[in-house]
Amino acid sequence: MRTVVITGGGSGIGRAAARLSAAAGDRVAVLDRVVRRDDPWLSMETDVSDEQAVDDAFERINAELGVPQGLFAAAGVDLGGPSDQLPAERWRAVLDVNLTGAFLASRALLRGVLAAELPGAIVLCSSPAARVGFAAGGGAAYAASKGGVSSLVSSLAVDYARDGVRVNAIVPGATETALMWAAVPEPERERMRGVVEQEVPLGRLAAPDEPARAAVWLLSDAASYCTGTELLCDGGVLAKASISV
C-alpha cells in the first residue's frame, strides 16, 4: 500500500484520480483550495503556489500516512485573455499554479523518497496547448505554463531516474470539467459543447475518469519502464490536421 498525493483533487480529473487511487488500495491525500470534509481520504486546503503551504502539507502527510511515493499534480487554472491586454499579475497567477505548483509538489515528493531511499512516481498534467495554439485564442499564459510542465517532466525524469523515481505527464484533451468551461458564458456552453464534439476526432468530450485512469496507470507498477514521456488522452486532437483538405 502506497501513499499518493493528488493536487487539484477536489474536482475534475484530480478528484476522479483520487477515487481511482483509493479504490486501488492507496492511501490518498488531496491538496486543493476547496476540499470536501466528508471525503474518505485526507483532504487539506492548500494553495499549491504557496511554497510553505505545500511543504507543510507534505509534512502532515508524512506524519499521518507515511512518506508519499506517488504524486499526481492536477491542480490548474486558466485565466486567459489577449496577450496585449493581459495583466502581468494574471500571467503570474497562471504560471504560479500550473507550473510552480507542479514543481513545488514534485520537489516535496522527491525530498521525501530520496531521504527514505524509496522509489517514487510523479505524474504532471500537461495539455495540447503545450504544443499548439488553441483556436479560441487568449491562451498564452496557460500554454506557456503547460509548455513548462512538459519540459519539467523531461528534466526531472533524467535527473532522478537512477534514484528510482519515474516522472511522466498526461495530456488530457477536452474534458467535462469546470475548468473546461471556465471562460465560456453559461448561455453559450451547450452550443460550444456541440462545436467541440465536432472538432474532436472521437466525437465527444472525455469524462474526468478517462484521463484520470491514464494518470493512475502511470503512477502504477504497470508503467514501471515509462519515464520522461507524455501519455496523450486527447481524443485524437493532436493527431488531427487543422485544415480539411
Return all residues near 143 (Cβ < 8 A) that are at least 6 apart. 127, 129, 130, 133, 134
Annotation says 225 is catalytic:
no
Quote the CA–CA distance of 9 and 200 in Å, as a whole number: 26
Catalytic hit among 120, 142, 168, 173 = 142
Amino acid identity, position 28: V
DSSP string, 199-219: HSTTSSPBPTHHHHHHHHHHH
Alpha helices, H only, 1-45: 12-23
Sign of the CA dihedral with 212 first, then 24, 27, and 158 last: negative
Residues with catalytic annotation? Answer: 142
